[in-house]
Structure 1
C-alpha cells in the first residue's frame, strides 16, 4: 500500500493493458470484474507454447488455483506485430523487455531495435538454418510450418531464443504477443489517450482527417518506393503538456520513424514514443474514469483480450498480477539503449554501442538500479 493509503493495481495488469492485454484489473486485493471474467480471459489468451522451446503445446490457465512461487528477478518479453493471417509470416515490429528486480520495488522497460543486426540461430521446427540478419526476421523464420502456413507462437520461440542470446537472459519468465491492430480498439474504448508530444512530427501515412495520403504517380500499384506518399499530412505539434489524441492519431504518432517525418533518430525516437504510449495507456486504463465504469472497463478488456497471446509458464495471469500487485506504473523506468546504423556501403541495419553489453550483464545479475546510477544517460527522461 502506498503512502496515500490507496491500493495500486498490479504492474503486470498495467503493462498488459498498455500493450493491448488488459485482461484483468485488481483493486483492494480482489478482481474488479470478478473471478469468472478473469477465467474467461485467461482461457482465451494463454498459450504457454510461447515459452516452450521443445514442444508446441497449448495449456489453458486455471484461474482457480493461485500460486505464490514466482521468486527472484523476472524478465518478460513483449512483442508487437501487425495483423497477420496464417498465410503471412509475422514480423516482430516492436520488441520490449520488462525487467522486474527481485525486490519488486520498480520495473525497467527497454526496447530492442527491430533492425538490430544479430545472429539468428538455426531452428529445427521451422527448418531454417543459422543466419545473420535483422532481429525482426527471427519471428518470421521461426514461424514457418510448411505449406505456406505460419505460427506466431512458434515464431516467438525462435525470437525469444535470439533475444536471449543477445541479452544473456537464459529464459524468459513470461511472454506476450500483442497485435497492434487491437491497440486502436483499446484506445477507442477508453475515449482516446493523453500523452506528451515531445517533438514536431509529420505523418508519413495519413492526412489530417486520418485517411490515407495519396500515392505519388510513380508509386502507384507497387511497394518499391521508399516514401510513396504525397500531399497534405497529419501534423503533431510538440507540447510540454499531455495532448488528447484519438485512437488513430495515437497509433499513427507512435509508428513514425523516418527522418523526413521529423524523427531524426529514426527507430530510437520511435521506441521512446512507444514507451511513452505504453505508460500513457496504462495510466489512463487504471484511472478512476475507467476502472469505476463497468461498461468502459469491460469494453477495454474485450478489446485487449482479442489482441494478446500471453504465456506465464506454469503461472496464470492471476498469479502474475498478485505477485506484482505492489508495483506502481509510476515506478516504471524506461531505458534507452545507445546504438547506430551499419552502412557497408548501403544500410544493413542497427548495432548497439559496446557499453550496452554491460547493461545486459546488469540485467542478468539483477543490478540494473546501480548500473543506471552510474550511467544516467541510459535513463529515458522523456518517458512520461
Structure 2
C-alpha cells in the first residue's frame, strides 16, 4: 500500500513538474511573441545586394520598424510560374503605430540582370521559369529595391485563389467600391460584364478577387485598380479586427499559410504582427501612397518588342520613400 502511494506521489510530482514547464514555456513563448520582443531583429531579404540606389536604406533595421512586400500572382492552381500581377510595399512602424502602403504598378519599367529592361510583371515569371520559384521572388524584390531604394524585410505572396480563401475564411467583408467597376476580364465566366456600382458592398472571396483583378474598364487603369486593392485590404483588416473576431485572430493567422504561395514570414511572425494590430484602425493608421508616372512605348529586352511601360516619377518616388518608407 505504501509502495502504491509512493508511486502515485512520484507520478503526481512528475505531472506537476510537466505542468509547470508547460505553463512556463507558454508564458515565455507569449512574451517572445510580444511585438516589442519579437521584432527586435528582422531579416533583410536583399541585404547582400551590391546594387543600391542613391536613396536605398542602410540594412540596419530599427526595432519594430520594417517593410513587407505583398505580391499578388496570377499563378493558377497546378502551375509553378506566374506573373507578379500586383505589388504593394507596406511600411510597418510598431513604435508609432503607423502603416504606410505604396503600390508598384505591374507594368513599371525595371532592369533585370542578364536580360535588360522589361516590365516588372515579367521579372518574377522569367526567373521562375529558368531558375525556380525562390529565384523568381528574389529577382522581383531586387528589381523593386533598385527602383525604389526600399529594403524588403518580409514578403508574402498569394494568388487569387489564396485571396478568395482568405476572405471566405473570415466570412466575407464589407468593401467600399469608390467607382463603378465593370468586370471585363473575370476569373469566373458567369461574372462577365457584371457591373459593381460605387458604394459599400458585402462581398465574398470570389467577388473580391474579381473586383481587385479588373483594370481594363477603369478610367485610370492600373491606378484605379490599386485603389480597389487598397479598399480590399482595409475591408479585410476591419473584419479581422472586429472586437468579436479578435479572440479568433490566432486561429485565423495559423490558417494564413494555407492561402500563400510563398513567404519568409513564420507563423510566429504573423501572430506577433497580429498582436500588434489588435487595436489597429485602418481608416486612421493606414496611409496609402500612389506614385504618378508616364506611359511610354519602349523596347522590352525580354519580349523583344516595343510595348507600353510605365516610367515612374523619380522625384515623387524619392520624396515619398524618404518620408514614409525609411527605417
Is the 8 Å Cα contact of residues 108 and 334 (structure 1) preserved in structure 2? Answer: yes
Q: How does 1:259-278 map to 2 (within 5 A)?
A: 261=217, 263-278=218-233
Q: Does 1:162 align with 2:156?
A: no
Tell me which of 148, 154, 171 is aligned to 1:174.
154
Distance 2:242 2:91 in 1: 24
Q: What per-residue deviation string (whole Å, max 9, x for no partner) do you get for residues 298-355 of structure 1? A: 4x55653212232249x84445555666654340111121123213696421121242
Q: 1:361 to 1:174 in 2, by over 3 A?
A: same
Tell me which of 59, 75, 87 is aligned to 1:83.
75
Q: What per-residue deviation string (whole Å, max 9, x for no partner) do you get for residues 52-77 of structure 1? A: 677xxxxxxxxxxxxxx961642221
Q: 1:135 to 1:205 in 2, by over 3 A?
A: closer
Q: How does 1:55-134 map to 2 (within 5 A)?
A: 71=63, 73-84=65-76, 88-101=80-93, 103-120=95-112, 122=113, 129-134=114-119
Distance 1:266 1:163 in 2: 21
Distance 2:94 2:174 in 1: 32
**For residue 349 of structure 1, what is the aligned residue in structure 2?**
309
User: Which runs of 5 or more residues in structure 1 are unaligned?
Assistant: 1-30, 39-47, 55-68, 123-128, 215-231, 367-384
Partner SS state of residue 306, structure 1: helix
Cα deviation for residue 110 of structure 1 reads 0.7
Is the 8 Å Cα contact of residues 142 and 154 (structure 1) preserved in structure 2? Answer: yes
Q: 1:88 to 1:175 in 2, by over 3 A?
A: closer
Structure number with bigger Rg: 2
Is the 8 Å Cα contact of residues 94 and 276 (structure 2) preserved in structure 1? Answer: no
Distance 2:188 2:115 in 1: 41
Distance 1:130 1:88 in 2: 21
Q: What per-residue deviation string (whole Å, max 9, x for no partner) do you get for residues 107-138 of structure 1? A: 10010000001112x2xxxxxx1410001112
Partner SS state of residue 162, structure 1: helix
**For residue 209 of structure 2, what is the aligned residue in structure 1?**
251
Q: Does 1:307 align with 2:292?
A: no
Distance 1:364 1:335 in 2: 11
Q: What per-residue deviation string (whole Å, max 9, x for no partner) do you get for residues 234-259 of structure 1? A: 111112xx22123222211121101x
Cα deviation for residue 213 of structure 1 reads 5.3
Q: What per-residue deviation string (whole Å, max 9, x for no partner) do you get for residues 1-31 of structure 1? A: xxxxxxxxxxxxxxxxxxxxxxxxxxxxxx9
Deviates most, 323-332 or 334-343: 323-332
User: Which runs of 5 or more residues in structure 2 are unaligned?
Assistant: 1-25, 34-41, 49-60, 300-305
**For residue 286 of structure 1, what is the aligned residue in structure 2?**
241
**For residue 198 of structure 2, what is the aligned residue in structure 1?**
238
Q: Does 1:201 align with 2:181?
A: yes
TM-score, L = length of structure 1: 0.60
**For residue 126 of structure 1, what is the aligned residue in structure 2?**
none
Distance 1:327 1:211 in 2: 34
Q: How does 1:324-335 map to 2 (within 5 A)?
A: 328-330=281-283, 331-335=285-289
Q: 1:324 to 1:283 in 2, by over 3 A?
A: closer
Cα deviation for residue 233 of structure 1 reads 2.2
**For residue 303 of structure 2, what is the aligned residue in structure 1?**
none
Partner SS state of residue 80, structure 1: strand
Is the 8 Å Cα contact of residues 290 and 297 (structure 1) preserved in structure 2? Answer: no
TM-score, L = length of structure 2: 0.70
Larger helix share, 1 or 2:
2
Q: How does 1:314-325 map to 2 (within 5 A)?
A: 316-321=269-274
Between 1 and 2, higher relative CO (CA 8 Å, sep ≥ 6) is seen in 1
Distance 1:100 1:302 in 2: 21
Q: Does 1:135 align with 2:130?
A: no
